[in-house]
Chain A
Amino acid sequence: MMLKISQILEPIYSDPNVKMVALYKIDGEPVFIKVNAPKAELMSTLYWLEEQIKDLLHYIFNKNLDEASFKFSNIRVIMYPVSRTIVLSVMVSEDASLYKLEIDIATACKELEEILK
C-alpha cells in the first residue's frame, strides 16, 4: 500500500518546488511523509501544521470545506481531502505554478481515492 501511495505521489514530490507531501489521518497522525527540503527549513511550519491539523480536518470533513490553503513568508501549505478519513497536505515554495499544481494534485487525489476506498 505504501509503495502504491508513493508511486501515485511521486510526480508531485519530484517537483523541486514541492517541499513536502504528506497524508494525514483524521486524528492528525501522518501516514505518509516525503520531505524535499532540509528539515530545519520546514520545522516551524511543520509544528504549526501539527497544531492546526485536527481543527482543519474537522472543518474539512464535518463542515464540507473543499480545501484549505495557508501562505507563510515563502511557503504555501495546501490541504485536500482524499477520503472521509485521509487528507493530503502539500507544502510548496512560492515559485510553484499553483494552478497547474492544483490540477496535478487533483489527479493524484483521484488515484489515491481509488486505492484508499
Chain B
Amino acid sequence: MRYEIIATPFNDPEKSCKIILDKLKKLEFIPNFILLFLTPGVQKRYTPFVRILRKFYPATPMLGLAVEGYIVKNEIWTRGLAILLGEFEGEVKVYYEREASATELARKIGSKIGRGWDAVLLVFPSVYIPGKINVIKNLYHDKINYIKFMLSKNSEDKKKVLEDHSKHLEKEGVIFPINKVLRIISRKIKSSILGVNLIPLEASFNSPLIIANYEVLKPGIAAMCFKGKVNIAFHDLYPERGKDFLETLSVIESFLCRCEKVKLLKKEISIGLIQNLKPSDFIEQKRKIETSKKVELINQLEKGKFLMFSPYILVLISSTTHGCSFLGLEKLPLNFYPSIFDLDVFYDEAIFCGEVFGGGIKEMIKVFDYKIFDSALDFFVIDCNIMMAYGGKVHSMINLIKRKSGNFFGIFSACPSAYIPEGSVIFKKRYLSEIEKNIFATGSGTITLLELKI
C-alpha cells in the first residue's frame, strides 16, 4: 500500500488550499480511499478542501470528519487539517445513511454494508447539536416531558416518560447511543468495527461535521469498509473488570477517588433521577457547580464555545459483562440527563466520582502491542480528553509510539469505541470497557488502532 499524508497547520483556507494543491499535483499514485480530518478552526470553512479533493478524485471513496487535533510524524497540531490518501491493496468502499433516527440509520447502514468486509471505520456523532431552532425545540420538549414525569405517580410511569423522551432524542438525531449503534451494525456485518463516535469538545450549532463521498451528513452515519490485510485493535487505560457487580465495584474503587454509590432512575438514553434528585440538582448539590442557563447555552453554542467535557462522571456497570462505561456529568440546562450509551444494559446502581487518567500516556500507546503486521500504516484514534489532561505533555507520546511503529498517523477524537469479534488477541485482557459482548465503549481513556498493511 502506498499512502501520503498532507497536513497543514493553518486555519486560513487559502493558505492550506495552496499547500494541498501543490502536494496533490506531485502525488505519484491514484488513491482508492481518502480521509479528511478537520480541526475546529477549519470546520466551518471546509468547502474549498472538499472541492479540491473532489476535483482530483471524484470517484474515490472519501470520508471527512471533525477532529480535535492530529499527530503526524513529529508534530501534533490542533489547527488546520490533515488528509490521508491511500492506495490500499484490497477493496475500499464508503457507505452512508442520513435523515432518520439513530436506530433506523444503524439498521439501514448495517444492511447496506453487509458481510464480507475485514474492517470497518464507522463514523457517527454520539451527540449532534442541531441548528438553533431545533435546539430550542428540544429544550421545550425536555420541559414538557419533565412536567409529565413529575405528574407520574410511580417509577414505571416515570420510566415510560423517559422512554418517550429517549425516542424523541433518537428520532431528532441528537443522540446516537454508541453501544446500541455498534450492536445493531455488528449483528448485521460481523466484522471488526472501529467506532469514531464524535462529540465536539467545544460545541457549536450543526456540529460535529461528517462528510461521506463529498456529501455532508446532517447528521448521519458513514462507514469506510476495507477488504484485505487490515487489523483493528482496542485498548483502554483501566484495570480488568470483575466477574460480578461487587468485584467490578471494588476494581473501580481501587483506582477512582471519592466514589459514591448512587441510585438512578433511567430508561434507554435518559436519566430522570440521580439519588432521587433531578440530575442538574444532583450535580449542583454535589460539586457546587451552577447549571448553566438556557440562554447561556444558546450563546455559547453560537460562539462555538460550549464545553462538552466534565471532570465528574457516573460509572455505569454493565449487567451483562460487568464492564463499565464512564458518563461525563456536564452542567446542562436540561431536566433529563441525556446519555451517549443505551442505559438499559447497565445496573440501576452507579458510582459518582471524579475522572482519572491512570497510567497516562504510556498506558495509552499499549494498543500498538496488538499490531499483527510488521510493516503497516498504523492509523489510530485517541481520546481527545487526554489533550485536556496533559496539554503540551502529549508530545511525549510521539517518541513512545516511534518505538512500536514505523508509520503512524493519529487523530484526537471523542473516546473511540470498537466491536471486535472473538479470536482477537485483545481478549487476553478482560477490558473494563467491554460493556456488551465484544462491544467496547466508554467515556474516557480509550484508543483504537486500524492497521493497514503496506
Interface residues, chain A, CB within 8 Å of chain B? 10-11, 14-15, 67, 80, 95, 97-107, 110-111
Measured CB to CB, the closest approach of chain A to B164, in angstroms, equals 37
Whether A11 touches B74, Cβ cut-off 8 Å, given contacts A103-B394, A106-B395, is no
Interface centre among A14, A101, A106, A107 (most CB of B within 10 A): A107
- A110 CA to B79 CA in the complex, in Å? 17
Of all chain B residues, which has the CB nearest A67?
Answer: B392
Residue B57 lies at the interface, judged by CB distance under 8 Å to chain A: no
Name the residue of chain B whose CB is nearest to the CB of A98.
Answer: B391
* Chain B residues near A14 (CB-CB < 8 A): 10-12
Docked pose: A67 CA to B80 CA in angstroms = 25
On whether the beta carbons of A107 and B11 are closer than 8 Å, the reply is: no
Q: Is the interface of B mostly helix, strand, loop or mixed?
A: mixed
CB-contact partner of A11 in B10, B68, B202, B391, under 8 A: B10
Q: What is the bound-complex CA distance between A94 and B10, given in angstroms?
A: 21
- Nearest 3 CB-CB pairings of A with B: A106-B392, A100-B78, A11-B9
CB distance from A115 to the nearest CB of B (A): 13
In the complex the two chains form, is A106's CB within 8 Å of B387's CB?
no
- Closest beta carbon of chain A to B217's beta carbon, Å: 26
A110: which B residues are within 8 A, CB to CB? Answer: 74-75, 395
Across the interface, do B79 and A107 meet the contact criterion of CB distance under 8 Å?
no
| A-contact 0/1 string along B217-234, CB 8 Å cutoff | 000000000000000000
* Closest B residue to A8 using CB positions: B9
**With an 8 A cutoff between CB atoms, is B77 at the interface?**
yes
* A37 and B8 alpha carbons, distance in the complex (Å): 25
Q: Is the CB of A104 within 8 A of B9?
A: yes
30 contacts between A and B (CB under 8 A): A11-B10, A11-B11, A14-B12, A15-B41, A67-B392, A80-B392, A97-B78, A97-B202, A98-B391, A99-B391, A100-B69, A100-B78, A100-B79, A100-B387, A102-B391, A103-B77, A103-B392, A103-B394, A103-B395, A104-B9, A104-B78, A104-B79, A106-B394, A106-B395, A107-B9, A107-B75, A107-B76, A110-B74, A110-B75, A110-B395
A106, B76: Cβ atoms closer than 8 Å: yes
> What is the chain B residue whose CB lies nearest that of A95?
B305
Residue in A closest to B396 when the chains form the complex, CB atoms: A106
Interface residues of B in 32-85 (CB under 8 A from A): 41, 68-69, 74-80
**Are B387 and A11 in contact, CB atoms less than 8 angstroms apart?**
no
B250 CB, min distance to chain A CBs, angstroms: 33
Residues of chain B within 8 A of A80, CB atoms compared:
392
Q: For residue A80, which residue of chain B has the nearest CB?
A: B392
Which residues from chain A contact B202 at a C-beta distance below 8 Å? Answer: 97
Does chain A have a CB within 8 A of B388?
Answer: yes
Q: Which residues of B contact A102 (CB under 8 A)?
A: 391-392
The CA of A102 and the CA of B388, in the complex, are separated in Å by 10
A111 surroundings in chain B (CB, below 8 A): 75
In angstroms, Cα B80 to Cα A97, docked, is 15
CB <8 Å contact, B392 and A11: no
Tell me, in angstroms, the Cα distance from A104 to B132 when the chains sit together: 32
Which residues in A have their C-beta under 8 angstroms from that of B77? 11, 103-104, 107
Q: Are B79's CB and A11's CB within 8 A? A: yes
What residue in chain B is nearest A109 (Cβ atoms)? B392
Contact A15 B10 (CB under 8 A): no
Cβ–Cβ contact B79 & A15, under 8 A: yes
> A98 to chain B: which residues have CB within 8 Å?
391
B15 to chain A, nearest CB (A): 8
| Pairwise interchain contact B10-A10, C-beta atoms closer than 8 A | yes
Instruction: Give CA–CA (A104, B71) in the complex, Å.
Output: 11
- Chain B residues with Cβ below 8 Å from A95 are 305
- Give the residues in chain A near B75, CB-CB below 8 Å: 107, 110-111
Q: How far is the CB of B70 from chain A (nearest CB, A)?
A: 11
Q: Which residues of B contact A99 (CB under 8 A)?
A: 387-388, 391
Scan B350-393; emit 1 where CB is below 8 A from any A CB, else 0: 00000000000000000000000000000000000001100110
Residues of B near A107 (CB, < 8 A) are 9, 74-77, 395
Chain A residues with Cβ below 8 Å from B392 are 67, 80, 102-103, 105-106
Q: Name the contact of B78 in the complex, choosing from A10, A67, A103 (C-beta under 8 A).
A: A103
Within the complex, the shortest CB–CB distance from A76 to chain B, in Å, comes to 13
A62 to B291 alpha-carbon distance, docked (Å): 45
Name A103's contact: one of B12, B41, B76 (CB within 8 Å): B76
Could you say which residues of chain A place their CB within 8 Å of the CB of B395?
103, 106-107, 110
Least Cβ distance of A44 to chain B in Å?
Answer: 27
B74 touches A103 (CB 8 A): no
Contacts of A105 in B (CB 8 A): 392
How far, in whole Å, are A28 and B202 apart by their CA atoms in the complex? 37
Q: Are A15's CB and B394's CB within 8 A?
A: no
How long is the Cα–Cα vector from A99 to B41 in the complex, in angstroms?
15
Q: A residues within 8 A CB of B9?
A: 11, 104, 107
- Shortest distance in angstroms between B137's beta carbon and chain A's nearest beta carbon? 29
Q: What residues of chain B lie closer than 8 Å to A10, measured between beta carbons?
A: 10
* Min C-beta distance of A91 to chain B, whole Å: 17
**Are A103 and B388 CB-contacts (below 8 A) given A14-B10, A14-B11?**
no
Contacts of B78 in A (CB 8 A): 97, 100-101, 103-104
Closest-by-CB residue of B relative to A101 is B78
